[in-house]
Structure formats: structure tokens, C-alpha cells
């Protein structure tokens, strides 16, 4: 476990690092701002980071609630730890400006290295928005202006997305509505050739930015930079040519992007013949690999489903401020109707004391299989684990789980742990900000914190039993571990800091290693100060197939 240090000590340490590192331009300015902000923090405030140490002449830094090896961090990583602890971040410090895409990035339909030589058919903002979104909020995304396109920072760290480009007269009933419009919000986004290329804008440095609003109706897919265009030729037995051809590559500068109406018509006539296909690789703004918004890093959200003023959803580092009922932004920035504030009309939620919220007193690990009418062999061996927290106020519990990035935003907000899951439009989906509505990504992780109307473990077990069955939600639900919370710093705000630190530094979801079971065990051990716990039980066949070792998960 990490050792908590006062913010003043962290500020002093960051200040020394600012002097010792050769920071450049706006990076140095933003880093210095971070240090000054930390020095100005109230005395006695704690940050969820652990004390740095020297080893063999190198700076070693181990964040709290981490199961990763020690490594020397860059100055931007140190700044990010400060931001995660205090809920303040600037876009210039959201990622390393000169860093290249990691070679360890797992391949995916949506996220991965900028390499798409094979056709990927697997399914799956700059515009300001409220950090807390109420029901009835608009999902409309306005087109991007040329001036706004110039403000999108270049960088290699943003999430990579792919989209299928189809002909203007494309009419496949699997992908087209009876009205002739493309089906919206497909796992692999699709767009007609004329609309896509006519919506591109070129910046002064030669980059092409998609400014047509929400790509294929996904509110989060905006302000995307075109990285490559790939053409898969139709099969021709008489012409022996390679099936894949790169028409444009932003890295090498080879090829061209059609921009005029005549060029677009020629492009469609040549490259979108029957049997051929065109795919574009797009990159989101560089902060997108850290969170859903530049000012709130961390792919983590809290669904405050039981708030007396109505359900709300808070994401990223703003969860820490919201944990105790403090307002998130000045009233001039946050719309008066967009979120609950301390002192607003109506009774405040339990633990809204402005000091960190209620304290966790009991923690449990539970697991289940997903309900399906017809199960495959893989379905029978697939289990999900999560953590149930009991609070000192005794009015409700909270489920904390690790899952695929955008797994709820890309699936209509149908969480298994909300009462209205079967509704056409669940309250969770209404509360989701536009930034969270995107195709799911099976190689990236998000942490979900969902309040449930169960007072304790027994009430939650009744909820699981009530929704168990092949045509319901769960199969074989069971609790595998329970314990009192022994950690001193176990308020809601502290726990939010822990899970934010975890997902910021462990952003990938790896099925046989960094998965929901590993997260549940790590969080349980952290809150119980090292209690022995094993991963939720698997059958011997599943354990062998997934390469899992329960003793270490």
C-alpha cells in the first residue's frame, strides 16, 4: 500500500523536479502552475500518492493502490499524479507531448497502433459539456469550425478509432435503415463518402480534422484527426494485386485526401466499387487516452443513482470533489439545472458533508456469470467479479467494478446493477454525458462506481437472487470474500482517489491478467490492509484456458 503524504510535501518535491528537469515551453508553464496550485492547497489536505524515494541514484515513485513495478516517472507523470490526487488537470499536462504510441498497445478494432494493413471487421470534445448531466440533456453535437480545428493539439497519444466509408448509394439492409439513412451508432462507425470527406478541414500544419459533428451519431466521436485511409480491393482473379492498399498516410505524408467535390466523386468511383471497402483510421485528441475530458482525467465514473435531487453521473477527477457534496465548478460555468450542489433545495445525500463523504465499513467480493438463454462453451467459462461496499450511514451500498471502456455508453446504459435496466432508456443512460457515449473498447478499462438501493450484503444478495436466471441478468451469483474495512483513509473521496489512480496508470484491459478479477482482489486487499484473498472461483478448464493463477490475481 502507498504511504499518504501531505500536499505541502508533494508540492516541495514537484518544485524540485521542475528545477531539475529540462521542461520546455507550455509544458514547463503548466507544470509550474501545478506546483503553485499544490502549495496553495489547504493545510492538512491529503493526496492519494505515496512518498518518493531514491534508489541507485534514481527517483522511484510508487502510487497508492498500485500493483505495478517501480519505474522512473517522467515529469509529466509526476504532474499527473498530482492532478489525480487534487482533481485539477490541464490539457498540456494530460500526456507526454513527444511520446510515441506504445508498442505494447494491444490491437483492437477501435484502439491500437496506427497500423491497419488488415481489414478489421470485428464488431464491437472539444465542445464544452456539463460534468454532471441531467435527464433531457441534448446529445446534439455542432459541426466544428475551421478556427476550432486549429486549436486541436497534435500528438500521438490519443485513442485510435476506425470507421468504414461507404458509397453514397450504399443500401445494404444490414447497415441501412428503410429510410435510406445509415444505421446510427454502429460498433464500427460508418459514414457515406461525400459527407465524410466534405466535413474534413485542413489545419495550417497539414493535418486533416473531421468536423462533421458526431461521427455515425456517436456523441463522443468528434474532432478526430485522419491518420490513414486504407482501401481493400475487390477480388479479381485476373489481376493479381495485393488486397490492401494505403491511400493516405499522415506519418509518411504519402497519398492524398480528396477534398473537392470532383475529387470525392472520382475517389468513390475508383475505390468504392462493389466488393471493395475503404476504412479510415482516426485519432482523438491526445488527452483522450487519459480520460473523457481534458479537465477530468481518469476513465472512471460514479453513478449517484439515489441522489434525492435526481440521478447524476460524475466522471474523472471531479468525482473527488463531488464525493462530499462540494460543487464541481463555479456557478457561472456549471448550469444551474445541471447538477446538485451543497445547499441546493432538497435534502442532501447521505454523507454530503463536504469533507469526503461517508466511510466504508464492510467490503465484499462477489462474482457471477452472464445470463444467456443459449450459452456457448465460452459463456459457461466466463465470470465477472466486482466489489460491494457497505457505508457507515447504512442507507445503501455501492458496487465498484472494472470493465471494458465505454461498455455502458456503447450499450445503452444497461448496467446489471440498476433497477431500470430493462427500460427503453435507463436513467443511467440519460445521466451519461456525451463524452461517454462511444463504441466499447475491449482492450481498455474503465472503473464504474454505482450506488445500489441495498442496505447491506444480505439485501444485495436478495437482489442478485431475484435477477438470477437464463432470461434475466445473472447466473450462479456468489460471494467469495467478506471483511471489515481496516484502512484508516476509507471515505468515499479516498476510495475515489484510489480507483482513479488505478485506472490512470493501468488503462489497459487484458483478459488473462489485468481484468475485473485482478481489480476486485487488489481493491479488497487494499481496503482490508492485506487480507488474503483469491480470485473468484473458475472451473479448472476455464483456469487453464485463461492462464489464470488465483494466488496472484
How confident is the model over 194-224, as pLDDT tens digits? 999 999 999 988 999 999 999 999 999 999 9
Q: Is the pLDDT of residue 294 over 50?
A: yes
Where does residue 151 fall: left (phi above 0), alpha (psi -120 to 50 degrees), or beta otherwise?
alpha
**Domain boundaries of the chain, sorted by first residue:** 5-93, 146-288, 291-328+357-546
| Residue 529 in grid coordinates | 490492509
pLDDT band at 148 (very low <50, low <70, confident <90, very high): confident
Angle subtended at Cα 61 by Cα 58 and Cα 63, rounded to the nearest 5 degrees: 170
Residue range 92-101: mean pLDDT, rounded: 28
* Distance from C-alpha of 259 to C-alpha of 264, rounded to nearest angstrom: 7
As a whole number, the mean pLDDT across the chain is 73
Among 79-83, 141-145, 153-157, 277-281, the minimum mean pLDDT is found in 79-83
pLDDT in the model for residue 45? 32
pLDDT over 60 (residue 32): no
Alpha helices in 21-119 (DSSP H): 25-39, 75-86
Mean pLDDT of 441-445: 95
For CA atoms 413, 416, 420, 421, the dihedral sign is positive
pTM as predicted? 0.70
Cα–Cα distance for residue pair 409/360, rounded to 1 Å: 28
Q: Which helix (H) or strand (E) holds 542?
A: helix 540-546
Query: Could you read off the pLDDT of 38-66 as tens digits, one per residue?
Result: 444 443 332 333 333 334 433 333 333 43
* Residues 6+ positions from 322 with CB-CB distance below 8 Å: 132, 302, 304, 314, 328
Angle, alpha carbons 103-406-232 (nearest 5°): 55
| 3-state class (DSSP) for residue 268 | helix
How far apart CA 342 and CA 322 sit, in angstroms, is 9
**Three cell numbers written together for 169:** 448509394
Average pLDDT over residues 407-436: 92
Looking at residue 136, what is its pLDDT? 34
User: 72-81, 150-159, 347-356, 521-530 — which is least confidently predicted?
Assistant: 72-81
530: number of Cβ within 10 Å: 9
pLDDT greater at residue 294 or residue 1: 294
Strand pairing class (53-55; 224-232): unpaired
Query: Which long-range contacts (C-beta less than 8 Å, at least 24 apart) are formed by 165-171?
Result: 165/190, 165/191, 165/192, 165/193, 165/196, 165/272, 165/277, 165/278, 165/279, 165/280, 166/190, 166/191, 166/192, 166/193, 166/272, 166/277, 167/192, 167/193, 167/268, 167/272, 168/192, 168/193, 168/194, 168/268
Under the banding of pLDDT at 50, 70 and 90, the label for residue 257 is very high
Q: Dump pLDDT digits (tens) for 459-482.
A: 999 999 999 999 999 999 999 999
Q: What pLDDT is recorded for position 102?
A: 30
**How much is the pLDDT for 279?**
96
Whole-angstrom Cα distance, residue 172 to residue 174? 5
What local confidence, expressed as pLDDT, does residue 56 receive? 43
The count of other CB atoms within 10 Å of the CB of residue 98 is 12
Least confident residue range of 153-162, 402-411, 539-548: 539-548
What does the alpha-carbon distance between residue 434 and residue 224 come to, in Å, rounded to a whole number? 15
DSSP 8-class letter at 461: H
- What is the C-alpha to C-alpha distance for residues 445 and 407, in angstroms, rounded to an integer? 9
The cell for 192 is: 457515406
Arithmetic mean of pLDDT, 370-394: 92
Amino acid at each position: 500500500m502507498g504511504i499518504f503524504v501531505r500536499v505541502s510535501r508533494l508540492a516541495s518535491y514537484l518544485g524540485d523536479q521542475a528545477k531539475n528537469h529540462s521542461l520546455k515551453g507550455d509544458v514547463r508553464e503548466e507544470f509550474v502552475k501545478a506546483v503553485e496550485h499544490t502549495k496553495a492547497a489547504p493545510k492538512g489536505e491529503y493526496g492519494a500518492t505515496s512518498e518518493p524515494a531514491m534508489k541507485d541514484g534514481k527517483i522511484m515513485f510508487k502510487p497508492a493502490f498500485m500493483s505495478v513495478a517501480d519505474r522512473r516517472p517522467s515529469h509529466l507523470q509526476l504532474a499527473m499524479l498530482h492532478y489525480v490526487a487534487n482533481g485539477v488537470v490541464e490539457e498540456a499536462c494530460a500526456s507526454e507531448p513527444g511520446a510515441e504510441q506504445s508498442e505494447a498497445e494491444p490491437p483492437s478494432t477501435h484502439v491500437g497502433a496506427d497500423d491497419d494493413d488488415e481489414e478489421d471487421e470485428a464488431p464491437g470534445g472539444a465542445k464544452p459539456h456539463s460534468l454532471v448531466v441531467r435527464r433531457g440533456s441534448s446529445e446534439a453535437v455542432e459541426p466544428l469550425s475551421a478556427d476550432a480545428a486549429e486549436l486541436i493539439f497534435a500528438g500521438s497519444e490519443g485513442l485510435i478509432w476506425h470507421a468504414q466509408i461507404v458509397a453514397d448509394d450504399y443500401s445494404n439492409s444490414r447497415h441501412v435503415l428503410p429510410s435510406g439513412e445509415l444505421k446510427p451508432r454502429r460498433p464500427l462507425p460508418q459514414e457515406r463518402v461525400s459527407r465524410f470527406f466534405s466535413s474534413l478541414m485542413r489545419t495550417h500544419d497539414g493535418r486533416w480534422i473531421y468536423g462533421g459533428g458526431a461521427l455515425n451519431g456517436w456523441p463522443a466521436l468528434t474532432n478526430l484527426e485522419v491518420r490513414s485511409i486504407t482501401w481493400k480491393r475487390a477480388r479479381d482473379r485476373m489481376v493479381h494485386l495485393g488486397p490492401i492498399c494505403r491511400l493516405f498516410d499522415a506519418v509518411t505524408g504519402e497519398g492524398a485526401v480528396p477534398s473537392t467535390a470532383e475529387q470525392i466523386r472520382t475517389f468513390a468511383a475508383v475505390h468504392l466499387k462493389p466488393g471493395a471497402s475503404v476504412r479510415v483510421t482516426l485519432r482523438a485528441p491526445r488527452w483522450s487516452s487519459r480520460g473523457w475530458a481534458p479537465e477530468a482525467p481518469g476513465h472512471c465514473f460514479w453513478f449517484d443513482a439515489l441522489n434525492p435531487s435526481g440521478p447524476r453521473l460524475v466522471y474523472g477527477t471531479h468525482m473527488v470533489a463531488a464525493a462530499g457534496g462540494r460543487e464541481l465548478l463555479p456557478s457561472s460555468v456549471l448550469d444551474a439545472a445541471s447538477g446538485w450542489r451543497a445547499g441546493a433545495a432538497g435534502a442532501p445525500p447521505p454523507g454530503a458533508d463536504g469533507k469526503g463523504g461517508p466511510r466504508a465499513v464492510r467490503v465484499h467480493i462477489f462474482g457471477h456469470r452472464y445470463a444467456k438463454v443459449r450459452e456457448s462453451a465460452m459463456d459457461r467459462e466466463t465470470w465477472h467479479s466486482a466489489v460491494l461496499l457497505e457505508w457507515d450511514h447504512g442507507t445503501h451500498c455501492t458496487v465498484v467494478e472494472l470493465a471494458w471502456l465505454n461498455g455502458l455508453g456503447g450499450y445503452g446504459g444497461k448496467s446489471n446493477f440498476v433497477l431500470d435496466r430493462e427500460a427503453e432508456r435507463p436513467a443511467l443512460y440519460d445521466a451519461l454525458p456525451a463524452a461517454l457515449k462511444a463504441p466499447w473498447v475491449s482492450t481498455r478499462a474503465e472503473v464504474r462506481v454505482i450506488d445500489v438501493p441495498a442496505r447491506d450484503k444480505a439485501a444485495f444478495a436478495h437482489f442478485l437472487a431475484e435477477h438470477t436466471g437464463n432470461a434475466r441478468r445473472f447466473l450462479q451469483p456468489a460471494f467469495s470474500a467478506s471483511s471489515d474495512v481496516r484502512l484508516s483513509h476509507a471515505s468515499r473521496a479516498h476510495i475515489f482517489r484510489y480507483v482513479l489512480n488505478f485506472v490512470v496508470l493501468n488503462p489497459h484491459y487484458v483478459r488473462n491478467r489485468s481484468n475485473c478479477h485482478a481489480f476486485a482482489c487488489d481493491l479488497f486487499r487494499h481496503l482490508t490492509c492485506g487480507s488474503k484473498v483469491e480470485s473468484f472461483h473458475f472451473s479448472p478448464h476455464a483456469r487453464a484456458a485463461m492462464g489464470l493463477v488465483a494466488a496472484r490475481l
